[in-house]
Each structure stands twice: as structure tokens, then as C-alpha cells.
Amino acid sequence: MTRVKVCGVTSIEDALLACELGAAAIGFVFWPGSPRFIDPDRAASIVAKLPPLVSTVGVFVDQPLEEVQRTAEVAKLSAVQLHGDEPLAYARRVLQPVIKSVPVADDFVPESIDAYPPEVTVLLDAHDPARHGGTGRTIDWSAAAAAALRRPVFLSGGLNPGNVAEAIARVNPYCVDLSSGVESSPGVKDPAKLRALFDAIRAATAGVEVNQVKRND
């Protein structure tokens, strides 16, 4: 099954349900400008109760490196997601594995992601210089698919239970990253939407596997 990161989590109930359904990663937003902001101590209390194989990702937007590292240590993060205009030199100084958000705007060129070294994971998201994610807007999946041919990518931007299967089929991402598409309100996940999401992803993945078997035959 395609890996799933459920982002913008603010409660242990939402985190545990996402893990139970099959999430590979849980994301916490530490940017104060987000309606999904969570403080490091609260995030740490959630992380402490998660299954050991689930990754925990902290989302930051152009914040001081010292703040990022301090938060990562307090919350016991597996990885740091940089969702602003952080340069590559900044990313190289982060001690944890880095996920770098790359906005897919009208002028996006798939070859541009080659600038990031292999140890930096690229996340493709909608371009929004004000909200920095969680906008509910999809990106150009054709451009994303071209980027995904160059390296494994995380796909974000307006994904929900109704379109995630098509997104997976068209882009073939390493991981899909969802936030607003599985919420009842910012930071509050909707159990029914979460369940529908994983049902759709399992069905999409099964379809891909069946088609591969047919081609091999």
C-alpha cells in the first residue's frame, strides 16, 4: 500500500486512529501561524503513545534552526519538514532527516527537484506563501508525475478520500500527505474520512498490483 502521512494532528485520539488504520507517519505543525499549531510538549505526550514503527514529523516554516532543533528534541521527532523558503544550506544543518516542501506553481519545472541531494525527501504541495500548506488545493498531477519519475516524492495538496486513488494512479508517489482533506475542522480529524481514505488507498493499491500481474503474464 502507498505510504500515508496524516499531518496537522493535534490529539492522541486522531493520532492513534490514523496509526490503527495504517498511517506510516504522523505530522505535527509547529509553525505558530497555522490553525493546526501544536506546542512541543503536547506533541511529545502524543508521540510517547504511538506505535514504535510510526514516524513522527515536525513541520516548520522559516523558523530559527535553534528552535527547530529544540522542538525536535522535546517532541522526539523522526524527521523535520521544512515548509517555507529555507535554503539547501539550512536543510543540511538540520540533524534529523529532512523533508523539503517544494511548491508546484505554474512555473514549476520537474527538473528543479534535482537540486536537492538524495538524503532530502521532496514533498510536492500547492503554492501558498501565506498559509504554507493545508489549503485544500490540488496541484498539477502531470507535473508531479514527471517529478516522481526522477525520485521518490511525497504528494500533498488537496488530497481527500474522493481523489486520492486517482492521485496515486497518476503520480505514483512514495507517500501521500493529507491534512485538511480528512478533517472536520482545522486540526480535528474526521474518523469517517480517515477510514474512507485508507479504504480508497487500499483499493487503489490493489488495482495497481493486479494490473502489474496482468502485464507480467
Which active-site residues does the annotation give? 7, 125
Give the end-to-end CA distance of the chain in Å, rounded to a whole number: 22
Q: Which of 189, 155, 200, 142 is nearest to 10 (CA)?
A: 189
Beta bridge partners, 55, equal 25
Q: What residues contact residue 211 under an 8 Å CB cut-off, 6+ apart?
A: none
Element holding 5 (H helix, E strand): strand 3-6
Grid coordinates standing for 70?
529544540
Grid coordinates standing for 44?
511529545
- Please tell me the distance from the alpha carbon of residue 110 to that of residue 64, in angstroms, as a whole number: 29
- Please tell me the distance from the alpha carbon of residue 164 to that of residue 193, in angstroms, as a whole number: 12
- Please tell me the distance from the alpha carbon of residue 57 to that of residue 8, in angstroms, as a whole number: 10
